[in-house]
Amino acid sequence: MRMDAMAAAFDALADDYDDAHHDAVARALIEAARPAPGALVADVACGTGAVALALARARPATAAPVLAIDLSPAMVARGRERGAGLPVDWRVGDAVPLPVPDASLDAVLCASSLHFLGAAAPADWRRALRPGGRVGFTLPPADHFRPSGTFAALVAGDLPLPRTPADAVALAHAAGFTDATATLVDTGTRPTIVTTAVRP
């Protein structure tokens, strides 16, 4: 029931979701995670695909498509429109668990969505990543996050938002990742904490 409500809530936003903030978050996340040009990458809870599209535009023609998955059909449809002709494997579905074999990905990136996915997501990312693979995610700082209406009820209760980059590093380490780093980034509209870590 919660997943149905979340899909409906994000479906309603799809036509107006693309904005400078999401593009800035995507750029900051990719810059921090630095996936190799030919890496097998998943953009988890991709929305309209800001991360997937930025990666796809920079990939060599021979590289595998970026996996972009979201439970909102309208978001995925909008992403397909934006990225027509780019190497992106668009899928509508629940992002947890990811529809990939164990230890099959080089990088998992998640922009502005982990607080809706909850604690099960990082555990699944560890499963999906190869040893040495990188995870990257962004979260709003707790003091700057004020969800309202439907979205307040959809925030996962089992994953506390970080107040500082150090909190985000601790979150990554608690999920079993190593070598975590986190930075507070000002996108020009609102801040976000960008975190990367390694799957041991």
Cα 180 to Cα 118: distance, rounded to the nearest angstrom? 19
Which tens digits make up the pLDDT trace of 11-63?
Answer: 777 777 767 888 999 999 999 999 998 899 999 999 999 999 999 999 887 88
Continuous H helices in 118-161: 120-128, 149-154
Strand partners, 129: 105
Give CA–CA dist 157/36, Å, rounded: 34
Q: What amino acid is encoded at 115 in this protein?
A: H
The residue among 146, 134, 165, 164 whose CA lies nearest residue 39 is 134
Q: Which one, of 145, 189, 199, 151, lies nearest residue 167 by Cα? A: 145
pLDDT tens string, the chain, 200 residues long: the values are 567 877 787 777 777 776 788 899 999 999 999 999 889 999 999 999 999 999 999 988 788 999 999 999 999 999 999 999 999 999 999 999 999 999 999 999 999 999 999 999 999 999 999 999 999 999 999 998 888 778 888 899 999 999 999 999 999 999 999 999 999 999 888 899 999 999 99
CB 65 within 8 A of CB 88: yes
Encoding tokens for residue 133?
Answer: 């693979």
Chain-centroid distance of CA 173 in Å reads 18
Torsion sign across C-alpha atoms 32, 37, 38, 41:
positive
* Contacts with 6 (C-beta within 8 Å, 6 or more apart), sequence order: 71, 72, 116, 154
Please, what is the average pLDDT of the chain?
93
Check residue 45 and report its DSSP letter.
T
Question: What percent of the chain stands above pLDDT 70?
Answer: 98
Q: Assign 173 to helix, strand or coil.
A: helix
Tokens 């060599």: give the residue. Answer: 60
Considering the entire predicted model, what is its pTM? 0.94
Helix (H, G, I), strand (E, B) or coil at 64: coil
